Chain A
Amino acid sequence: MLNIHLGATFAFLYIPIAVLIVLSFNKAGLPTVWSGFSVEWYGKLAANPKILASAWNSVIVATISTLIATVLGTLLALGVERAKPSPARDALLFAPMIVPDIVLAIALLSFFTLIKFTLGLHSIILAHVVFNIAFVCAVVRARLKGFDWSLTEVSRDLGAGHLVTFRKITLPLILPSVIAAALLAFTLSIDEFIIAYFTAGAGQASTTLPMQIYSMIRFGVTPEINAMASIVMLVSFALVLLAQRLNHGRIPGA
């Protein structure tokens, strides 16, 4: 009984995804009826300058916000795990993951407007770092929970400085989870829609891929969206799979 339920749950989770991927190879203009195998929608996608430009914007935003968040989040995790436990601090670090996107989005829009900060790709990057710091910090902290701090003490006792100890002992030990955290942060950022939508400002120049997808979805169901959706999902799957391998099978759900 339990296993049937589990099978049904997996079917529920994966059939919609599978249907999208199958339909992306559908020949007909009608996206929901099968009429023969074709890859022409993938070709159309590659020739659409708006989609390519927005995909490039997303890569820029995700790369820079991931780099910043990985450095700050890792330092934060190292600091927090050394400091005395504090529920208030933990709550603060948990907040970016649970605050509804729309609330953070309008809060940032109001804030940027009030301080007369020009909106664009850079403001999306600043905003994405907020939730990415929290995720990176959570992943690295989970790794540090089992960390043997006596290793760093030995290194210090033997005369190594803080920086040398970090570079030679701590970093190599936590590096797989730091990279895993970075991959997950990149995935989150490249998929994030609402906060980017509110902090992008006007114009096509700062449109990210999810913003482009959103405007296309609102316009209607097209085989082109199916093709794009398939690519975006497979890229995410690959990144998360890689992160999971690096992090010894553990990935956080949030």
Chain B
Amino acid sequence: MPPRLISWLLMAPGFLWLTALMIVPCLLIFVLAFFERGTYGGIDWSAATLENFARAFDPLYFSIFLDSARIALIATVIALLIGYPAAYAIMKAPERWQTSLLFLAILPFWTNYLIRTYAWIVLLNPVGVVNNVFIYLGVISQPLPLLYNEFAVILGLVYNYTPFVILAIYSALQRLDPSYAEASRDLGASAVTTFIRITLPLTAAGVAAGAVFVFVLSIGNFVTPDLLGGGKLQMIGNLIYDQFLTARDWPFGATLSGLLIALMMIALFMQAMASGRARGEHV
């Protein structure tokens, strides 16, 4: 058998599965977006329309898009600010510890997302651990409203996605040739200048990968705004959820999902550009 045929035969079952249960359903979402909800729920296939798109850009819904993007962006920036120095510290640690430290940083990522989010309800609620400790220490006399607001949602997103940022930036730092930074120092640049002019640009691909990951998963998040926002805070994920399970307007839910996928593609495209540029500078 020719090698190409073997390779195709090996790939066929997996790609068939992904085609049938990922590509086709996602294409279906794009198709649904152009139809309207039937009188009794379901889909009215009789006429295609752009009505759903017009509705998605209605200020009522569009503001939810903007809010989601803003929250996702804040979470991304904070995760990068925590993740970059942490990844840098792991890279600077003795060689034999690095694998264990990195493993320790990623481990929470592999546990149940619901439980990691729930832990913050336990910590932040009015009679929760954080408020109790602050009251005990005399910092505050009344419990602070820490839960069921934007602060809690952003905190939850940062908590859940920082491990991935650490991983992405650590792998970029590890690929970096240390002689560039050494040369910069030898030529008299300060540590800060060296970091800003050499290390940071050369690890831009890792930063971009981490940032896109946090942004995309945050903007489409459903669990965190639902549990930590207490239903008061709506993000696109919750809106899509409502359209499918509460309002039963599947075509509009599909339109919102389609727009979310489009946003995701833009983010991934920007990441590809960033990593392409970073690679170019290596050569």
Contacts and interface: CB of A to CB of B under 8 A. Distances in A.
Interface string B68-93: 00000000000000110110111011
Given A198-B244, A236-B110, 14 more contacts: A6-B101, A13-B105, A20-B122, A31-B122, A72-B14, A73-B14, A75-B11, A92-B23, A107-B22, A108-B21, A210-B112, A218-B227, A233-B115, A254-B109
Interface in B121-150: 121-123, 125, 127-129, 132
A101 B123 CA distance: 26
Given A193-B113, A229-B112, A229-B115, A79 B127 contact: no
A33 interface: yes
Contacts of B167: 253-254
A96 B22 contact: yes
Contacts of A39: none
Nearest to A184: B110
A221 interface: yes
Contacts of B99: 249
A203 interface: no
Contacts of B103: 244, 249, 251
B244 A106 contact: yes
B250 interface: yes
Given A5-B85, A110-B250, A240 B107 contact: yes
Contact of B13 (A16, A75, A101): A75
B108 A191 contact: no
Contact of A19 (B129, B166, B254): B129
Nearest to A6: B89
Main secondary structure of the interface of A (DSSP, over half): helix
B283 to A, nearest CB: 18
19 contacts: A2-B88, A13-B162, A17-B111, A19-B129, A32-B128, A79-B7, A82-B3, A92-B15, A96-B22, A100-B217, A101-B222, A107-B28, A108-B21, A213-B115, A213-B118, A221-B122, A221-B125, A233-B112, A244-B103
A214 interface: yes
Contacts of A33: 127, 132
Interface string A36-50: 000000000000000
Contacts of B220: 100-103
Contacts of B90: 6
B198 interface: no
A25 to B, nearest CB: 14
Interface in A85-138: 92-93, 95-96, 98-104, 106-111, 114, 126-127, 129-130, 133-134, 137
Contacts of B22: 95-96, 99, 104, 107, 130
B268 A76 contact: no
Contacts of B121: 217, 221
A237 to B, nearest CB: 7
A249 B128 CA distance: 37
A156 to B, nearest CB: 11
A61 B223 CA distance: 21
B57 to A, nearest CB: 19
B7 A82 contact: yes
A225 to B, nearest CB: 7
B9 interface: yes
B34 interface: no
A10 B23 CA distance: 38
A96 B26 CA distance: 11
Contacts of A114: 28
Given A130-B18, A244-B103, A102 B257 contact: yes
A221 B125 CA distance: 9
A30 interface: yes
